[in-house]
Amino acid sequence: MTTTRRAATVVGAAFIVAMVASLLGGAMVEGVIAAPDYLVRAAAGPAGLWTGVALELVNALAVIVIAVALYGIVKRASEGMALGYLAFRVVEAAALVAAAILPIRMIGLGRQLATAEAAARSDLGVVGEQLVATRAWLAGVPVPLFFCLGALLLYTWLFRSRMLPRFIPVWGLLGVVGIAVVNVVDVGTTTAMVLALPIILNELFMGGWLLFRGFSSGARSTTRAAAPAG
């Protein structure tokens, strides 16, 4: 197995792991912290919250794996693009980690809430609201921003290099537009889910393609040949 084929396998598997872990982990965490009594629920059933946090951390790790595994391949065509993609995804992963670990504090707050006096309960509630708001900001600003920037670089490279069939990067670019709209315009939950669906399906499909078929062999040789001049 060549280095490029191994990288394609790692990237493909990581894309699938990242998407599945993100969807499941996010659903588990939000299922707790979106409830009116989220501090009580966090303290009463910490196992589910811990599992969700762990899955979100797996997602962050998979994002780093994708960026590192792709770096050497993208660098053959453009070192600047490779560095840019790596940097954007590292920052995205850092924001994902920060958003993931904030709910852990809610478990302790919920336990304190059970024995606290009225005044203290109010203060604990304020801290909890700040944690929820901070997580929402991380998930709504830096995560989608750096995801979109990285995705634009990745799909542009894929389109130009023909390392994958062109319908995949075109599909991905349309998906990025959907994510941008969701995070810029208040479109409502149902519309947001519809707009997010293309990128979810794209990354799962692209992950499967890379895992089982890899990059296009003809395009690889072209990229290598062009590398010295870039």
CB 211 within 8 A of CB 12: yes
Angle between helices 79-115 and 142-161 (to 10 degrees): 150
Q: How far apart are the first and last CA of the chain?
A: 27
Higher pLDDT pick, 125 / 64: 64
pTM of the model: 0.89
Average pLDDT of span 191-201: 95
Task: Please say whether the dihedral angle defined by the alpha carbons of residues 97, 102, 107 and 112, taken in this order, is positive or negative.
Answer: positive
Mean pLDDT of 140-160: 96
pLDDT per residue over 35-66, tens digit each? 999 999 999 889 999 999 999 999 999 999 99
Q: Which carries the bigger pLDDT value, residue 114 or residue 63?
A: 63
Q: What is the 3-state secondary structure (H, E, C) of 39-53?
A: HHHHHHCHHHHHHHH
Neighbours of 135 (CB within 10 A): 20
Per-residue pLDDT at 115: 83
Ramachandran bin of 141, using left for φ above 0, alpha for ψ from -120 to 50, beta for the remaining angles: alpha
pLDDT of 1 > 80? The answer is no
Name the pLDDT band for 218 (thresholds 50, 70, 90). Answer: low
Distance CA 128, CA 193 (A): 27
Q: Cα–Cα–Cα angle for 149, 159, 79, nearest 5°?
A: 60
pLDDT at 223: 42
User: Cα separation of 104 and 187, whole Å?
Assistant: 30
The domain spans of the chain are: 3-224
Using only C-alpha atoms, the chain has a radius of gyration, in whole angstroms, of 20
What pLDDT band is residue 226 in, cutting at 50, 70 and 90?
very low
**Rounded CA separation 65/55 (Å):** 15
Which residues are within 8 A (CB) of 150 and not within 5 positions of it... i.e. 6 or more apart? 67, 84, 85, 88, 89, 92
DSSP classification of residue 118: H
What is the distance, to the nearest Å, from the Cα of residue 146 to the centroid of all Cα atoms in its chain? Answer: 10
Q: HEC profile for 57-105?
A: HHHHHHHHHHHHHHHHHHHCCCHHHHHHHHHHHHHHHHHHHHHHHHHHH
Neighbours of 128 (CB within 10 A): 20
Q: How many residues does the chain have?
A: 230
